[in-house]
Amino acid sequence: MAKRIWIKLYIEMLDSPKLGRLPDDLWRLAVELFLLAGSRGNDGVLPPVEEMAWSLRMQPERLQEQLHALADAGVLNLPATGAWMLPHFAKWQSPVPVEERVRQFRERQAQEKSREPSRSVTDRYKKSNEGAGVASTSTSTSDSISDSDSEEQPPAELPTTPAEAMAHPDVQVFAAVTGGRIPGLAQYQTVIETVRLLRRRRKLDEAALREYLSPFWLAWRSRKRLDGRPYDPGNLTWLAEWALNGSIPPPGGSQAGEAWHAPLPTPQETRRMLAEREQQLKSAVPPPQEVLASMQRFKQKLEKQGRK
């Protein structure tokens, strides 16, 4: 499992006897251990006790005592390897299979259709974007989308195909900034929620939002790794961390010093840059009529499945 900057916490924890009967200090420790397991990215295997004690600002002896208490409650395991671990952590954090996401999407769409038969998928996206609220994408320790800004609006309906993604206004912003790039299926939620949060927090219209995001994307594309390879253009760090926090780290990583703020381009440079991106987008993105035709075929397919 890759190292994470956020983890899933399930609401059903509130009704779990295993956790609900724990004393308050053990409940807090259990949640902190979930976070440590996520930061370590090792399928629920926790760091050594001394390292955990430093991270949690606890005495190792006291932590060891509480770890055994959590093991007695069934929250932790201590395998023969001697490393504490959270059972089933990898299963909890694994992504929902595509088939299940598609099934859930179709169920939601059928419910929407039964309430508003004439409402198109594109119209639904536009309506869900009004107010520009978000759900629960997380970023670095200096910022989080899981604050009060994210709780006023429900999450937008997620696309399930590239054609649906290109009909979504927030993905269109992403594509305009990146020269026509479309995020992968697993990235739709992060892109949509981050763009909506930026639009709402900074009170930006579409043109101003593209202007704000462009320096972060250009800085990301200009960076190279130590081996000379460019940064992965499919990585969303530039959006979900740099743009959301409003700063660009210096080249070379954390050893290069504190993050510096990217100088914004002049209005003339911004207009030129956006004009170039617009030309790239026109050549990379299918014409609107093709997108609408694809959406219509998708809608007809769902209607046929609903009649079966």
Kindly state the percentage of the chain with pLDDT values over 70. 72
pLDDT in tens, 8-64: 887 888 888 888 888 999 989 999 998 888 887 777 889 889 999 998 999 989 999
What is the residue type of 297? R
- The predicted structure's pLDDT at residue 288: 65
Q: Give ∠ CA 269-282-211 in degrees, rounded to 5.
A: 30
Q: Are 285 and 180 in contact (CB under 8 A)?
A: yes
- Strand spans (E) along the chain: none
- The predicted structure's pLDDT at residue 111: 76
Of the pLDDT bands very low, low, confident and very high (cuts 50, 70, 90), residue 215 is very high
pLDDT in tens, 88-145: 787 777 776 767 767 777 777 777 767 655 555 445 544 444 443 333 333 343 344 4
Mean pLDDT of the chain: 75
Q: Which of 155-164, 199-208, 276-285 has the lowest mean pLDDT?
A: 276-285
Question: Higher model confidence: residue 283 or residue 92?
Answer: 92
Determine the Cα–Cα distance for residues 166 and 159; give it in Å rounded to an integer: 9
- The predicted structure's pLDDT at residue 154: 43
Domain boundaries, the chain: 11-93, 98-307
The pTM of the full predicted model, rounded to 2 decimals, is: 0.39
Q: Does 254 score more than 60 pLDDT?
A: no
> Is domain 11-93 in CATH 2.70.150.10, yes or no?
no
Q: Are 2 and 95 in contact (CB under 8 A)?
A: no
Nearest by Cα to 167 from 115, 101, 210, 121: 121
- The predicted structure's pLDDT at residue 91: 77
Q: Are 273 and 214 in contact (CB under 8 A)?
A: yes
| Measured CA distances, 192 to 150, 157, 183, 189 (Å) | 12, 10, 10, 5
- The predicted structure's pLDDT at residue 9: 82
What is the separation, in whole angstroms, between the first and last Cα of the chain?
A: 40
Q: What are phi and psi of 82, to 5 degrees?
A: 85, 0
What is the residue type of 122? T
Determine the Cα–Cα distance for residues 37 and 296; give it in Å rounded to an integer: 44
CA 154, chain centre distance (Å):
15
Of the pLDDT bands very low, low, confident and very high (cuts 50, 70, 90), residue 7 is confident
- The predicted structure's pLDDT at residue 28: 92
User: Within 13 Å and on the Cβ side, how many CA atoms surround 116?
Assistant: 9
Q: How many residues make up the chain in this entry?
A: 308
Unique residue bearing structure tokens 């208490």: 69
Determine the Cα–Cα distance for residues 73 and 226; give it in Å rounded to an integer: 46
Highest mean pLDDT among 259-273, 277-291, 292-306: 292-306
CA 270, chain centre distance (Å):
27
Of the pLDDT bands very low, low, confident and very high (cuts 50, 70, 90), residue 217 is very high
